[in-house]
Amino acid sequence: MHLIVLAAALLAAPSSPSPAPTATPRVELHLSGANVFIDQATNGPGQVPPEGAAFANGAPAAPMTPYDWFSTAPLVPGVGGELQYRATATLHEKHFSVDLSAMASAVGGDATNTAFWGEPLLGSFDPIEGRGKYPLPIVFPTHAGTNDVYAAGLQLPYNVTLRANDKRWKIGGGYVDTSGYDPFVFTQPAFASVNPSLNMQVFESSGPGLSDLESWKHLASALPLLGADASLKSGAVRFEVTDALLPMLQQSNARMTGGNARIDLANGARVSGDVVHVQTSGDPLAIPSLFGYAPAINPGAQGPLALSTLGDQSQTIAGICAFLHPVRGYDATLELGRAWYDASLVARPGSSHYGDFEHLSLTRNFNANDSAGIEYYRMSARYGTVYLPYGQPLNVWGVAWAYPGPWLKGAYQLVNDDWGGSNREGPRVHVSFTRGAWTLDAAAYDYRQIEPSTYQNLTSTGFVEVDYLVLSPGDLTYGHTRGVQTYLGWKGARDTISLDYANDSQHRGYTGANAVDLVDMRYPQLVLADQHAFSKHFLASAGYGRYQAAGMWTTTPVNGIYGVGFVGAEWDLGRLGQFFVQLRRFGVVGLPSIPGGPPPTLRGIGLVVDHHFQI
């Protein structure tokens, strides 16, 4: 297959550069895609975690291994391959153009590795999107070849777009991407997989990370939505409307309708407003929270984990945003949102209440490279809380002492909460300075729970607390989450050496004999790397990453360390396409996830080879 693609690229490429620009042909045909090979091998007792079998059947206690702690992707033995090609035909008229695209996909080999370590699968073939037939079971194999799948699919059309040649308007149908929503009101679902890339960062990095080649592009940056999206630009004013289906389990549906408007002002300033509504239907959903019907608490080594059943959700979010320059050298941001939520199957009908989001930021720009600022965040426990699982129950890292953990374990959130999350408020400060070849970026935050995790609060409709579990009766202690992030980089003529570091902590005390309410955790993380530019067409990087989770979670002592060494490269070979290769050596050591249980020890090696092409 690689030879066919490369031969087609050679035949389609011009033999010499054109001396002058040519007129746009009335009809254009383009083909782009990716060919991926993945090979992983693991060994050790961490291959089969003690929570694994129950977790695969829906239990809330998630395993500690086998996962890459930086990306949450599973680490299982197996060999897999993936082909994904997108063909686009474009018809150009005098004032508008029409694009029609098709997507062909195929996978072979280990289902978990192809889904989580290859290029993200797109369209109806994607099991994570929720409308495909490609199976992706939660399994913990001990050797390769036990979870292999071979499947292929064609989506025609994948997308149809009608657009003005002067870029004033665009209407798209099929699998579409949004473009203008403020992230605190709506953000497209993130991929659950790892996009092949040279970049590797700590979760809350304050730095730029490792760069890829400018030509290293993926077919999508987030999960596309199945529906329609239209945008219009008139002078400084932009509008967008969307009606689409979100990823969801196959026996359920989630429909999103929304719109946004933006006015561009001088010097990059802008004001905007957004409204989004999401309605779910179909089979009831099991959620790791207490506000659904028949709430249950499951005690164990990871604490009193919640589980309930939820159905027919309705979520509306409205927000306004202003990014201004109040005086020379200063940037000011104001974001305000309000959300309304309800559902048909809940623990306490009539207990819903609106939730708010507030973000204020002031940054002093000393010059093009140096800045310092302070900001304040407040996000209600009832803001943006609609529960939206991916298309299949996912084998993703959701262990109780993970930080930052996945939004409600295996689901995606309607809004962006990268800064901290639901039921949090507090300040964050940040600085960035460049002196010669050196760059320093640093940030620190101190967030506090807005409302404690009482049973009364957690059973209120739409109340979401991700990190701090339900309190014992009579206990009213609050959780505090603090963090420091630093990035130190040195850029030479061809090399960039960087140290990316973060240290987060969580603390919640307890009263009397309620030691089960205790949280006292630390999460130091670092990535040390060197990236070398052999030329503008050839990049290589090597480094080491370390992530530790240590402390006490309820009455369970926690101490786990994940380490990974990596080396990789990207080549741009022009008409032959772009190649990526990365080799990782990883391991986990630490205390058992269940006291007295098997150790989480895991060792392994992973290889990813990816080829992109454009014809």
pLDDT mean values, one per 10 residues, the chain (615 residues): 38 45 82 97 96 88 91 94 96 97 96 93 86 83 94 94 97 96 96 91 90 92 94 97 94 95 96 98 93 94 92 97 96 98 95 97 96 98 94 72 67 90 96 96 97 97 93 95 97 96 96 94 96 96 96 94 98 95 97 94 98 95
Q: Can you tell me the distance from the alpha carbon of 115 to that of 150, in angstroms, rounded to the nearest whole number?
A: 12
Token duo for residue 356: 């708010």
What pLDDT is stored for residue 24 in this prediction? 76
Q: Hey, which residues does 340 pair with through a beta bridge?
A: 316
Q: Are 484 and 441 in contact (CB under 8 A)?
A: no
How much is the pLDDT for 126? 87
Residue type, 47: Q
**Burial call 38-70: b when 16+ CB within 10 Å, e when fewer:** bbbbbebebbebbbbeebeeeebbbbbbbbbbb
Q: What is the CA radius of gyration of the chain?
A: 25
* 92 contact partners, CB below 8 Å, separation of at least 6: 24, 25, 26, 27, 28, 165
User: Using an 8 Å Cβ cutoff, are 407 and 479 in contact?
Assistant: no
> In which region does residue 413 sit, left (phi positive, over 0), alpha (psi from -120 to 50) or beta (all else)?
beta
Phi/psi at 391 (5° precision): -70, -20
- Global pTM? 0.92
What's the CA dihedral at 136, 142, 145, 150 to 10 degrees?
10
CA dihedral 388, 314, 186, 225 (to 10 degrees): 60
> Which strand (E) or helix (H) includes residue 435?
strand 424-435
Provide CB contacts within 8 A for 392, sequence distance 6+.
127, 128, 130, 136, 249, 250
3-state per-residue secondary structure call for 364-391: EECCCCCEEEEEEEEECCCCCCCCEECC
Q: Is 575 exposed, middle or buried (0-12, 13-18, 19+ CB in 10 A)?
A: middle
Q: How far, in Å, CA of 295 to CA of 307, rounded?
A: 6
φ, ψ (nearest 5 deg) of residue 360: -125, 135
Closest C-alpha among 201, 203, 47 to residue 112: 47
